[in-house]
Amino acid sequence: MFSHIFIFLVSKGRIFFGVLFLAPLLSQFLKYNKIESILGVPTLIPCLFIGFFWGLYATIKGKWFWF
């Protein structure tokens, strides 16, 4: 049972990396540059979407960038 959970988490590692590392990093970068909200929403929310979809793209394509 534990091995199945571990295999699943490892296979989705790029999505977790995008959400748990890239999103807060991008959010802090925006706050550092004095951008506190995007369309009235705190910067973390759009950054979570960006991190998730970037990680999903990396999972599907097998690479982080299109080139």
pLDDT digits (tens, 9 = 90+) for 25-52: 999 999 999 998 888 999 999 999 999 9
DSSP state string for the chain: -HHHHHHHHHHTHHHHHIIIIIHHHHHHHHHHTT--EETTEETHHHHHHHHHHHHHHHHHHSSSS--
Residue 10: its pLDDT value, please? 83
> Does the predicted model carry a pTM greater than 0.85?
no
18/1: higher pLDDT:
18
Residue 42: its pLDDT value, please? 92
The mean pLDDT value for 7-19 works out to 89
Residue 2: its pLDDT value, please? 86
